[in-house]
């Protein structure tokens, strides 16, 4: 819980990704008390007065076995580091009066978990001991700014069902699955959802539906549609810090993709009239681009705007769309 309390403070502020800089304090060498050895783990074993074994990296083979001079084969998979030390000590008593044995895990390869989707560094991570959901998300660099409101966990049933009442088996009967409100978790509202992650779990963070606000606003960039809801033009502008004094609010444009058409449709919006209560606000749809031009009359093409968004270049000033 110590790590969890630290991570709670790292929230999306000023467009920064959730948990972008948070790192799990328990990352690194696995803790001996918690870590269960498995195939492909690499160990360093030190035995006083036995140079044939000491300090040489040894890898547990795919069958979970470890082969050592004098001792022979030991099925190490499933043992803790402490249990392996005890077993080695027991076997060495045939050769040494008081064996002095220590084991450390140099590299962990037996507890993979896949983290996919809207995280900074997606891919396969090694648990290296007991890790909670928040800690694993931190290991993946945290959520990106376009992360959706939920995180999905899928677990093979041979490792047991996910210990949450809302978890359910998938249609194939092979996995236990659950969707968790990740923002509520990170805000400390549902600490009971911060469950322990098991080896071979699949954690996916879907990307949120977005609209883009560019041009003469304080914070141009993507605006997340939480829980799949729509957002109005006024709400999108407000979420972007409001229109600047240099904005031509009577010449706002919405660029919208239409199925079957190559080019976006351009919809004129008089933001000034909406703000004055003289026109009805307009709902934006997922993927819409809201362009707030400046009053200088500079122009930029729709294609250039789309290219800038795809490159992640949220330019502060756009003029009227041709």
Note the pLDDT tens digit of each residue in 57-93.
899 999 999 998 888 899 999 998 999 999 999 999 9
pLDDT at 11: 28
| Secondary structure E strands in 89-229 | 101-107, 112-117, 123-126, 131-132, 150-156, 168-169, 175-181, 196-197, 202-205, 209-215, 221-225
CATH architecture of 2-28+111-205: Roll (3.10)
Contacts of 97 (CB under 8 A, 6+ apart): none
Q: Where does 42-107 sit in CATH, by number?
A: 3.30.1950.10
pLDDT at 183: 86
Q: Which of 223, 140, 221, 217 is nearest to 182 (CA)?
A: 140
Our CA dihedral for 75, 76, 78, 83, rounded to 10 degrees, sits at 120
% of the chain with per-residue pLDDT over 70: 80
CB atoms within 10 A of CB 83: 15
Note the pLDDT tens digit of each residue in 166-194.
999 999 999 999 999 998 998 889 999 99
Do 81 and 110 touch, CB atoms closer than 8 A? no
Note the pLDDT tens digit of each residue in 301-320.
555 565 555 545 444 433 33
Q: Which of 201, 203, 204 is nearest to 112 (CA)?
A: 201
pTM above 0.75, yes or no: no
pLDDT at 235 over 70: yes
209-321 shares the fold of 42-107 = no
pLDDT at 269 over 80: yes
Note the pLDDT tens digit of each residue in 11-43.
222 333 344 333 333 334 444 456 788 898 899
Q: How confident is the model at residue 291 (pLDDT cuts 50, 70, 90)?
A: very high
Residue-range domain boundaries for the chain? 2-28+111-205, 42-107, 209-321
Q: Which CATH class is domain 209-321?
A: alpha beta
Q: 62: phi > 0 → left, psi -120 to 50 → alpha, else beta; which?
A: alpha
């Amino acid at each position: 819980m110590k790590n969890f309390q630290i991570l709670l403070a790292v929230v999306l502020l000023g467009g920064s990704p959730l948990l972008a800089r948070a790192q799990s304090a328990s990352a690194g060498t696995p803790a001996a008390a918690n870590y269960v050895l498995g195939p492909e783990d690499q160990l360093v074993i030190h035995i006083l007065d036995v140079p044939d074994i000491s300090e040489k990296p040894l890898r547990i083979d795919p069958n979970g076995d470890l082969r050592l001079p004098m001792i022979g084969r030991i099925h190490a998979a499933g043992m803790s580091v402490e249990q392996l030390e005890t077993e080695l000590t027991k076997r060495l008593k045939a050769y040494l009066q008081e064996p002095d044995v220590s084991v450390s895990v140099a590299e962990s390869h037996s507890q993979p978990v896949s983290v996919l989707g809207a995280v900074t560094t997606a891919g396969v991570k090694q648990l290296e001991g007991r890790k909670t959901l928040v800690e694993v998300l931190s290991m993946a660099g945290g959520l990106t700014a376009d992360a959706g409101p939920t995180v999905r966990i899928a677990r093979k049933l041979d490792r047991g069902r996910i210990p949450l009442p809302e978890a359910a088996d998938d249609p194939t009967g092979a996995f236990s699955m659950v969707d968790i409100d990740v923002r509520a978790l990170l805000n400390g509202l549902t600490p009971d959802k911060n469950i322990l992650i098991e080896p071979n779990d699949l954690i996916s963070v879907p990307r949120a539906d977005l609209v883009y606000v560019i041009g003469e606003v304080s914070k141009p960039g993507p605006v997340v549609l939480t829980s799949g809801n729509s957002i109005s033009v006024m709400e999108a502008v407000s979420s972007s810090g409001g229109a600047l004094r240099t904005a031509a609010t009577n010449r706002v444009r919405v660029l919208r993709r239409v199925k079957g058409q190559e080019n976006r449709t351009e919809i004129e919006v008089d933001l000034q009239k909406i703000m004055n209560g003289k026109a009805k606000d307009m709902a934006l749809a997922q993927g819409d681009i809201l362009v707030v031009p400046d009053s200088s009359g500079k122009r930029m093409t729709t294609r250039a705007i789309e290219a800038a968004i795809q490159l992640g270049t949220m330019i502060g000033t756009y003029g009227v769309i041709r």
